[in-house]
Structure 1
Amino acid sequence: MKKKPPVAPDSRLLALYDNIRRNTVIPSANHSGFRGERESAKYSLKTDKNMAKNGFAREEAIDLIFDDTWEEADHDSSDPESVYSDVEEAYAAGIDPDVDCVASPVTYKEANGPSTSNTTPPQRGRGRGRGRSHSRGHNHGLEESRGLSPVSHNGRWNTEADPDIVPNIPRFTPKRIPGVQPPLTFGKKSPLDIFSQYFDGEVIDVLCANTNKNAVRNLERGRKFTWADVYPEEMKKYIGLLLYMGVMDLPKMRDFWRKKTLFHVPFPVTVMSRDRFLAISCNLHISDPTEDAENDKKRGTEEYDCLHRVQPLLDIMRNRCMSIYHPRQNISVDERMIATKARISFKQYMKAKPTKWGIILYVLADVNGYTIDFKIYTGKSKFASGKGLSFDVVTSLVNRDYLGSGYVIYCDNFYTSPLLFRHLNQLGFGACGTYREGRVGVPSTKQNALNKRSPRGSIRWIREDVLLFVKWMDTREVSMCTTVHTVYSGETVLRWQTTEDGRKERVTVPRPTAVQQYNKYMGGVDTSDQMLGTNSVHRKTRKWYMTIFQHYLDIAVTNSYILHKELSAIHHDKHMTRQSFQELLAAQLTGVPLDGSPRERCDHLPVPVSDTQDLSQRASMGRRRCIRCKRSTPWKCQECDVGLCLQLDRNCFREHHV
């Protein structure tokens, strides 16, 4: 019987194909589970109510769907909405489609390292929000991953009693001496001296120039406000007031200038008037407004830069963070969320995070919380390597030309993959992190593996050349991958355990070396987030670039405080607290002594009603009626602009103001 030529499916079949993909995983024809998935597809088609309406017999539809002679790319191009559904669901569940085997069960680990709690760890939501910035290339990677499976081992999981080799750890050779870099190390530095390394004259000049241009543009558009060009000294006072508001927190900015109230704050009015502060806030701009207009014309094309409004300060801040401080050997990579609900394409939604809507920053941090480098996530990049988002993030932040070699990179299970760790090893970096089941290249053998009945403290491991996969039974199973640690070096940890007679006692259980080191060094980004949230200048705003500007300011203050502690240790001095540091910095930026009592500026002064030059007529011309005694008077209040008597026997001026 002559075989019929392959037929490309039409729109009716594609609708059935999408329906099956939402409920079953369709592997390639050479997959070992092809027959079972085919039966699952039969069941889905059998129960599909639209099959008869689409005009396909059950077996005919299955044969066409599983026919690998037609190009799947044609299907992707015919229905663009179906392209994004699987990709977005994958990212919402914390899956990187290019390195996760979606067909395999995914075990989620907590981002902050091995946990000893009995609760089920939440899924790490990495949804993409409303923006459609991922291209179809990610769907292609998803289909490829579905055809892959974790590495199968003919061997078995070893125990801690089995001998392990000592890994070949790269020699630690940093490009510079780790720590604070000159010239900050010469002599004692005040908070303003350190902060000025980030917000120096160049940054202040950029802010002043672009703010003035933006104010002129807004006035030309017909907006009503009083404006005078802002200069560097005034911009420093403005930043100082922002830091002051971070410490002295009030619900609204206008509350700092409220009068005749129990909650009156006397300091801000001595630095800047309310209207002037609000005028600068409304017109503050980082980039050139003219260049913004040119960039907006390119919206929808590859030349459009969605970060153009923050790009000048972004480049400067990244360079300052890397040049002023050089990290020590153990550094970590993780993400950070900047809260905002602005209508931008790269806003993300992460369901399991405390801050669910915002802008994602991928951060490289030292163990002390210093932000070394960061990258704003804007969606699918045209410079993607095709090896997955997690791979691209780590390789873009870990730069051998800047760091040197021998550094150990710690990351959580979203970033950990055998592909990434082997790449870092070739560059001369070590790596350690939790990993998830089902990721490409992860051992899948079940022989001698841990199970629910394994006693607490049980260790299993498999070594593949430079990679060491370790499983440890704590409250639940913990999975680690490392290139720089041995399986077990004698570390122990105390855990509560119930004895046979019902008593609880603390017992010593063994702990793998990788788990102990991960818990010690992974928290750099979390420490940084905690410090950034202390006395933050973040205020609710409709302008997304103002949100990022406030975050830049928080990074500069936090990094400055960390450098202050490092310098205090060098000079054997006691360092200030975080709040004391920010208070002194705000006082130095505004140009007032920290221990001085603020005196409110008083414009209520008695002045003559008439401004004529003839002194003989000044007392008689232009007299007003006093608002208190109703008599005629040549005096008025400069601020209130009302007539008030000022006589030896009748001081209505004083009575009115008291």
Structure 2
Amino acid sequence: MYWSVDEVDATPYFSKTMSRNRFQIIWKFLHYNDNANLDVNDKMYKVRPVLDYIVEKFKQMYQPDKNICIDEGMMLWRGRLSFRVYNPQKPVKYGIKSYILCDSATGYCFNMRPYFGEGSSLPDTMFSLLDRLSGHGYTLYMDNFYNSVALCERLLEAQTNVCGTLRKNRGEPQVIRDLVKTDLGIGDKVVRHNDKVMVVAWQDKRLVKMVTTCHQDGMQKVDVWQKGHKDKVAQFKPECVVAYKSHMNGVDKLDQNISYYPFIRRSLNWSKKFVAYLFQMCMFNAYILYRARNPGGCNTLLKFICSVVKSWTLKVHERKGSELGEQVEEEEGAGVEDGDLEDVKHTLRAPYNTDPESRLDGDLGRHKLCYLKPTSKKLRPTKRCRVCIRRGTRRETKMMCKVCCVPLHAGQCYIDYHTTVRYSVSVQG
């Protein structure tokens, strides 16, 4: 099987954008905050400016639909870190945990809050994630880690509905708290409610306990797969269970999509990996925004990422091209005849350290020296002599070969360059 490779994925594209040494130097000294003013009370200090800026942009650029969900996201980190957590229920069991609020329909990350061992309560965490969405009639879906009857009542007072699973001893009535699997038959349920919150215990393959402030005590018919049946089988489930299964997967959509094309690479510095993790969220959120405004545009996240990379690197290539054009304009009128202009442009498009094949053609009469043309910045411009720089000496000249388009000193440098294969070795020494 054969498939086409995008230009962005090809190795030569990297060197056209940035050299390896430059990338390694930038990556080595990359910091996101000033360590001289380190705040020992803020464990996210090293990434705080980037984190705050990105999260604020998340909230500004998108208005979620009526159904939202809160769940935990994990970034893999197995090194030593004071706020590293272990969660056996996640595919990534060791790492940096974040509380994430997403749009249930698209998976757009509206808000996030990394966990670094702070002592804030769950209600405070919920309201900080809701931010400006609180008080606007949203329906929030959460699992049993967050839910409680008291929290549901508090959120309902803030005009935010809640639906989710419920743990034991989270404020449920005594009759539901004491239920076990053998007390109910398959499909049976027990419901208790007050004026604000309804708690449901429903027997499926196991006993499921739900809490909701926005659903009725009714059953809904759904088609499900069952063992021993080729086709889906109709089954009745409580309305809150069906809604929870449909709208609780927003964070899972986010985790799934950013895992397909990860930016994160191995590093001994947790801050670099965490910022790369944030960039992955940025790219997915940007894709959601793009699809909302351009339905007929990039139909996959991969195509969108490639288009973004091309647009970013195109600016680098255009800048290099504009500098090259200025260099060509400088050489025009500096003794270069019209017939040789195309050769000049072709030579200048080659890498700086590449010598033209015509330099050893043996026709010294054709390789004439000319003065560099004045530019807007320099009346008498100079450039480093190619022969001198190869021999470890930084000397500049006002002359250049009009055929090779290479700065050269008149005399021995000119002769060595056009007659010697290894002109970097001095013939005098």
- TM-score over 0.5 for the alignment? yes
Instruction: Verify: 1:582 aligned to 2:290, yes or no.
Output: no
Instruction: Verify: 1:636 aligned to 2:422, yes or no.
Output: yes
Alpha-carbon contact 1:609-1:635 (below 8 Å) kept: no
Write the mapping of 1:108-187 to structure 2, written as runs, cut at 5 A. none
2: CA distance, partners of 1:490 / 1:619: 89
Which residue number in structure 2 is paired with residue 268 of structure 1?
14
Instruction: Verify: 1:370 aligned to 2:100, yes or no.
Output: no
5+ long unaligned stretches in structure 2: 1-5, 318-348, 360-385, 389-394, 398-407
Out of 144, 147, 160, the residue aligned to residue 413 of structure 1 is: 144
Out of 276, 279, 296, the residue aligned to residue 25 of structure 2 is: 279
Query: How far is 1:491 from its partner?
Result: 3.0
Query: How far is 1:520 from its partner?
Result: 0.9
Residue type of the partner of 2:113?
Answer: K
Query: How far is 1:287 from its partner?
Result: 1.1
Query: How far is 1:487 from its partner?
Result: 1.6
Query: How far is 1:452 from its partner?
Result: 3.4
Which residue number in structure 2 is paired with residue 545 of structure 1?
271
Write the mapping of 1:207-286 to structure 2, written as runs, cut at 5 A. 248=9, 265-286=11-32
User: 1:9-47 CA distances to partner (integer Å, 9 max, x unpaired)?
Assistant: xxxxxxxxxxxxxxxxxxxxxxxxxxxxxxxxxxxxxxx
User: 1:506-536 CA distances to partner (integer Å, 9 max, x unpaired)?
Assistant: 6432110001100111101111111121212
User: 1:231-286 CA distances to partner (integer Å, 9 max, x unpaired)?
Assistant: xxxxxxxxxxxxx99x84xxxxxxxxxxxxxxx82111111110001111111111
Give secondary structure in 2 for the equivalent of 1:565. helix
Out of 237, 242, 250, the residue aligned to residue 524 of structure 1 is: 250
Which residue number in structure 1 is paired with residue 166 of structure 2?
435
Write the mapping of 1:554-565 to structure 2, written as runs, cut at 5 A. 554-565=280-291
5+ long unaligned stretches in structure 1: 1-243, 249-263, 625-631, 645-658
1: CA distance, partners of 2:353 / 2:98: 47
**Kindly tell me: are residues 402 and 270 of structure 1, through their superposed partners in 2, closer, same or farther at Cα, counting changes over 3 Å?**
same
Write the mapping of 1:80-99 to structure 2, written as runs, cut at 5 A. none
**Kindly tell me: are residues 339 and 490 of structure 1, through their superposed partners in 2, closer, same or farther at Cα, counting changes over 3 Å?**
closer
Out of 187, 191, 213, the residue aligned to residue 483 of structure 1 is: 213
Which residue number in structure 1 is paired with residue 401 of structure 2?
none
Give secondary structure in 2 for the equivalent of 1:328. coil
2: CA distance, partners of 1:447 / 1:541: 47
1: CA distance, partners of 2:244 / 2:193: 18
**Kindly tell me: are residues 553 and 504 of structure 1, through their superposed partners in 2, closer, same or farther at Cα, counting changes over 3 Å?**
closer
Which residue number in structure 2 is paired with residue 508 of structure 1?
234
**Kindly tell me: are residues 391 and 603 of structure 1, through their superposed partners in 2, closer, same or farther at Cα, counting changes over 3 Å?**
same
1: CA distance, partners of 2:153 / 2:178: 26
Q: Identify which of structures 1 and 2 has the higher relative contact order when contacts are C-alpha pairs closer than 8 Å and 6+ apart.
A: 1
Which residue number in structure 2 is paired with residue 349 of structure 1?
86
Out of 46, 63, 70, the residue aligned to residue 309 of structure 1 is: 46
**Kindly tell me: are residues 458 and 492 of structure 1, through their superposed partners in 2, closer, same or farther at Cα, counting changes over 3 Å?**
farther
**Kindly tell me: are residues 391 and 605 of structure 1, through their superposed partners in 2, closer, same or farther at Cα, counting changes over 3 Å?**
same
Identity across aligned pairs (percent)? 28
Alpha-carbon contact 1:346-1:377 (below 8 Å) kept: yes
Which residue number in structure 1 is paired with residue 63 of structure 2?
326
Give secondary structure in 1 for the equivalent of 2:71. strand
1: CA distance, partners of 2:59 / 2:21: 37
2: CA distance, partners of 1:551 / 1:447: 40
**Kindly tell me: are residues 415 and 605 of structure 1, through their superposed partners in 2, closer, same or farther at Cα, counting changes over 3 Å?**
same
Query: How far is 1:456 from its partner?
Result: 2.8
1: CA distance, partners of 2:99 / 2:258: 15
Decide which structure has greater strand share.
2
Alpha-carbon contact 2:192-2:198 (below 8 Å) kept: yes
Give the TM-score normalised by structure 1: 0.48
1: CA distance, partners of 2:244 / 2:55: 26
Residue type of the partner of 2:254?
Answer: S
Write the mapping of 1:596-615 to structure 2, written as runs, cut at 5 A. 601=351, 603-605=353-355, 609=387, 615=410
Alpha-carbon contact 1:340-1:359 (below 8 Å) kept: yes
Which residue number in structure 1 is paired with residue 314 of structure 2?
591
What is the count of residue pairs matched by the alignment?
Answer: 345
Give secondary structure in 2 for the equivalent of 1:591. helix
Which residue number in structure 2 is paired with residue 452 of structure 1?
182
1: CA distance, partners of 2:29 / 2:178: 66
Residue type of the partner of 1:604?
Answer: T
**Kindly tell me: are residues 475 and 277 of structure 1, through their superposed partners in 2, closer, same or farther at Cα, counting changes over 3 Å?**
same
Write the mapping of 1:616-627 to structure 2, written as runs, cut at 5 A. 616-618=411-413
2: CA distance, partners of 1:642 / 1:268: 32
Give secondary structure in 2 for the equivalent of 1:311. helix
Alpha-carbon contact 2:134-2:160 (below 8 Å) kept: no
Which residue number in structure 2 is paired with residue 423 of structure 1?
154
Residue type of the partner of 2:258?
Answer: L
Alpha-carbon contact 1:495-1:509 (below 8 Å) kept: no
Alpha-carbon contact 1:497-1:507 (below 8 Å) kept: no
Give secondary structure in 2 for the equivalent of 1:333. strand
Query: How far is 1:601 from its partner?
Result: 4.4
Alpha-carbon contact 1:457-1:510 (below 8 Å) kept: yes
